[in-house]
Amino acid sequence: MKNILVSTTFSENCTHAVDLGIKLAKHHNAEIHFFHFIKTPVDWLEISKTKEDKYPETLKQIVDANSKLKDYELMAENEHLKCKTFIEFDASPENIMQHSNNFHHDFIVTGSETKGNTHEPIKSYIELIVRKAKVPVLIVEKSHIVFPFKNIVFISNFVNDVGDALNKVVSIATQCHAKIHLLQIIPETDLKNSTRGLNPVDQLLQKFPKFKNYTLTVYNEPSLEHGITTFIKQHPVDLIAMVTHGKMGFLSLFPKSITENVTNNLPIMTINV
């Protein structure tokens, strides 16, 4: 991990994401970038300086954002980290992906929407990052996060090839000296798959002969939510890692009942395949 991007809206959860991003960067000796986008009433890069005064609220937003980003920069520099800050004036959150690709970030950290907040632009912003990101995305809500992570649960049906995704999780676990709990949840109604047991997991692990610090668990449960609930109640977990696909958004992957009730506000890492 050489270059981490922290996307922030300056919400409370994004503040937690900044804190974790700095810890990650320090742990991996990585450069850290802070990114914020502002929705402007006009194309801000095209208007003249004399016309900017017509939009005092936007000017105030820009001043406030620059001040907060400067605070983040000082926090990173106090940890002896290389740091850059960016403000994007395009209203489309898709620009974060273009920005990330241009700078070759290999990890993205962002805060989740505030609990109870139904602000759709923020939700769609997070969903878009999860769907489009070519690198792992770490979504943060809780302030008191155990880091370095000691117990990571990797949830997958293990039907498709998730070797690349697991490799990313193994890399983080190795750096943190963490244990990975491989969790497969098979619906009770899926009689065909319920007979597979640990076979696909065993086949996957053959690609990682040096990786030994893990556990294997298969649950035959009524639902994904129920399976995750059961596992977290029975095992210590600091981070949830899960494979996603481009067509699946964050909210469809983790329903509200899971993100708010099941995970106990644990950070969630999504890996697109």
Q: In CATH, what number is assigned to the domain containing residue 177?
A: 3.40.50.620
Domain final residue, candidates 121, 140, 159? 140
Give me the domain span that covers residue 245: 151-268
**Residue 186 and residue 245 in one domain:** yes
Average per-residue pLDDT for the chain:
83
**Residue 215 and residue 90 in one domain:** no
**Residue 135 and residue 185 in one domain:** no
**Residue 162 and residue 100 in one domain:** no
Predicted confidence band of residue 160 (pLDDT cuts 50, 70, 90): confident
170 vs 154: CA distance, rounded Å: 10
Position 199 scores a pLDDT of 73
**Residue 61 and residue 111 in one domain:** yes
Tell me what percent of the residues of the chain surpass a pLDDT of 90: 45
Sheet containing 214-221: order of strands: 83-88, 31-37, 3-7, 107-111, 137-140, 268-272, 239-244, 151-155, 179-187, 214-221
Q: What is the pTM of this model?
A: 0.86
**Three-class secondary structure assignment of 40-91:** CCCCCCCCCHHHHCCCHHHHHHHHHHHHHHHHHHHHHHHCCCCEEEEEECCC
Which among 109-123, 136-150, 189-203 has the top mean pLDDT?
136-150
Position 87 scores a pLDDT of 92
pLDDT digits over 55-104, tens only?
999 999 999 999 999 999 999 999 999 999 999 887 565 778 888 889 99
**Residue 93 and residue 158 in one domain:** no
**Residue 189 and residue 96 in one domain:** no
Position 186 scores a pLDDT of 83
**Residue 132 and residue 16 in one domain:** yes
Q: Which two tokens stand for residue 122?
A: 């923020």
CB neighbours (10 Å) of residue 203? Answer: 11
Whether 146 is in a domain gets the answer no
More confident residue, 159 or 150: 150
**Residue 244 and residue 170 in one domain:** yes
More confident residue, 31 or 230: 31
**Residue 93 and residue 216 in one domain:** no
Strand duo 107-111 + 137-140: pairing: parallel
**Residue 118 and residue 162 in one domain:** no
3-state secondary structure of 173: helix
Domain final residue, candidates 102, 120, 140? 140
Task: Quote the number of domains for the chain.
Answer: 2
Domain final residue, candidates 119, 140, 161? 140
Distant-in-sequence contacts of 93-98, Cβ < 8 A, 24+ apart: 93/37, 93/121, 93/124, 93/125, 93/128, 93/129, 94/128, 94/132, 95/37, 96/5, 96/7, 96/35, 96/37, 96/129, 97/128, 97/129, 97/132, 97/133
Q: Which two tokens stand for residue 163?
A: 């070797």
Decide if pLDDT at 121 tops 60.
no
40 vs 57: CA distance, rounded Å: 10
Whether 84 is in a domain gets the answer yes
Residues in the chain: 273
Residue 191 CB-density burial (10 A; 0-12 exposed, 13-18 middle, 19+ buried) = exposed
